[in-house]
Chain A
Amino acid sequence: GEDVEQSLFLSVREGDSSVINCTYTDSSSTYLYWYKQEPGAGLQLLTYIFSNMDMKQDQRLTVLLNKKDKHLSLRIADTQTGDSAIYFCAEEGGGYQKVTFGTGTKLQVIP
């Protein structure tokens, strides 16, 4: 079945860049996603990348996709304290609109 893996924790200093990594298993995924979960809230879509793209940039966010290695990364430039949250990698695969989530990476931004 599908499996999405992430490291559990990342700590960075305010102003530095954060890079959150993810590996996935379903090579037939159409979309790969990054969701953000703030404390006590549900998940919200942060950004996504279509499977035929290598990179997507959206303001401070850069998503890199290596399909050969099934590796997805999210880079946050100039990380701010408001970026502290749990970030989930997710892939759409394994059936109609079934989305599989990773374990989530908790990003701690140190002022």
Chain B
Amino acid sequence: NAGVTQTPKFQVLKTGQSMTLQCAQDMNHEYMSWYRQDPGMGLRLIHYSVGAGITDQGEVPNGYNVSRSTTEDFPLRLLSAAPSQTSVYFCASSSTGRNTGELFFGEGSRLTVL
């Protein structure tokens, strides 16, 4: 099983450029989310979605947009990259059924903004 797939794994941008981080899952999970990981700060929630057509903001949404047109895909868009967005980004998904709420993570996308 592929699980959660993120692309690209590495990306270097210049300040002001835009890009999209892709995330796809093949587990038919309703819940999907994006986190960023920074040294000493753990994982912080950027945006999340509880189903196709539904998105909501997390703890640090500024500078990021998301959409959820299908159950499988949850892309994260940076409209105008800033050096403060240099980070490792993780996509995660979960089933909303009666379970433990375990999150399944992708391998991460390392973004550097110069």
Contacts of B42 in A (CB 8 A): 4, 6, 88, 101-104
- Shortest CB-to-CB span from A106 to chain B, Å, is 10
Q: Size band of the B side of the interface?
A: 20 to 34
* Contact A98 B40, CB 8 Å, known A41-B107, A43-B90, A45-B102: no
Indicate which residue in A4, A6, A30, A45 contacts B103 across the interface (CB closer than 8 Å): A45
CB within 8 Å of B: which A1-47 residues = 1, 4, 6, 8, 30-31, 33, 35, 40-45
Indicate which residue in B4, B48, B106 contacts A98 across the interface (CB closer than 8 Å): B48
| Cross-chain contact A101 with B35 (CB below 8 angstroms) | yes
Q: Does B96 contact A (CB under 8 A)?
A: yes
Contacts of A96 in B (CB 8 A): 50
| Cross-chain contact A97 with B50 (CB below 8 angstroms) | yes
Q: Size band of the A side of the interface?
A: 20 to 34
Contacts of B107 in A (CB 8 A): 40-42
CB within 8 Å of B: which A53-95 residues = 88, 92
- Complex: A33 Cα to B104 Cα, angstroms: 13
Q: Which residue of B lies closest to A6 (CB)?
A: B42
Q: Does B8 contact A (CB under 8 A)?
A: no
* Contact A103 B40, CB 8 Å, known A97-B31, A97-B50, A98-B58: yes
CB within 8 Å of A: which B46-90 residues = 48, 50, 58-59, 90
Contacts of B101 in A (CB 8 A): 30-31, 92, 97, 99
| Cross-chain contact B96 with A43 (CB below 8 angstroms) | no
Contacts of B31 in A (CB 8 A): 97
Q: Which residue of B lies closest to A43 (CB)?
A: B105
Q: List 23 A-B contacts (CB under 8 A).
A: A31-B101, A40-B107, A42-B4, A42-B105, A42-B106, A42-B107, A43-B43, A43-B90, A43-B105, A44-B105, A45-B102, A48-B102, A88-B43, A97-B48, A97-B96, A97-B101, A98-B45, A98-B48, A99-B103, A100-B45, A101-B35, A102-B42, A103-B42
Residues on A lying within 8 angstroms of B by beta carbon are: 1, 4, 6, 8, 30-31, 33, 35, 40-45, 48, 88, 92, 96-104
